[in-house]
């Protein structure tokens, strides 16, 4: 995904995903951090994101 966003910046193309996708990722990462700190399972409320990954976002690793 980092390479995809870098390509968007360099080409001036707007990314397909909006900031709500990033917010969903941050919520998950924070829950993982809490789980590792407490040893307890973390529950997250459902979070709706309209965007989805499409073929143009996929980058092959060398």
The per-residue pLDDT string of the chain (62 residues; one tens digit each, 9 = 90 and over) reads: 678 888 888 999 888 776 777 788 889 999 999 999 999 999 988 877 666 666 776 777 77
And the tokens for 2? 């980092």
Angle at 57 between CA 48 and CA 54, to 5 degrees: 55
Q: What is the pLDDT of residue 60?
A: 74
Q: What is the pLDDT of residue 50?
A: 64
Q: What is the pLDDT of residue 15?
A: 80
């Amino acid at each position: 995904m980092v390479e995809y966003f870098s390509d968007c910046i360099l080409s001036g193309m707007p990314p397909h995903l909006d900031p709500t996708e990033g917010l969903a990722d941050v919520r998950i990462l924070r829950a993982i951090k809490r789980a590792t700190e407490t040893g307890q399972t973390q529950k997250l409320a459902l979070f709706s994101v309209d965007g989805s990954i499409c073929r143009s976002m996929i980058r092959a690793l060398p």
